[in-house]
Amino acid sequence: EDKVVQSPLSLVVHEGDTVTLNCSYEVTNFRSLLWYKQEKKAPTFLFMLTSSGIEKKSGRLSSILDKKELFSILNITATQTGDSAVYLCAVSGGTSYGKLTFGQGTILTVHP
């Protein structure tokens, strides 16, 4: 059974701090790993990672995948209060045709 574990489960920081969110996974026939941001509504797509060692970047957010060690990190630099959300990591693979298995999420709270 596919498994995704995120850490930490919650994180409280102040504006301007840098945070690193972790995601480890176990899945046969790995296909992709995705990061989403959820703010009391639908998950918003951030990144999709398929290859090891290639950093994806969007503004203050970046993410990288290590397929050998089976984990990914999501970095957020110069955090803002608007970054407060639940960050979800999900993987697809196995015998599925794209269904996502989600981790339990990291609750990030950024104080002014």
State the residues that interact with another protein by CB under 8 A: 31-32, 34, 36, 41-45, 48, 88, 92, 96-105
Closer to another protein by Cβ: residue 17 or 26: 26
Closer to another protein by Cβ: residue 31 or 75: 31
Minimum distance, C-beta of residue 36 to another protein, in the bound complex (Å): 8
SS (H, E, C) 29-56: CCCEEEEEEECCCCCEEEEEECCCCCCE
Closer to another protein by Cβ: residue 5 or 73: 5
Contacts of 80 (CB under 8 A, 6+ apart): 15, 110
* Paired strand residues for 47: 35
Minimum distance, C-beta of residue 24 to another protein, in the bound complex (Å): 15
Q: How far apart are CA 24 and CA 7, in angstroms?
A: 9
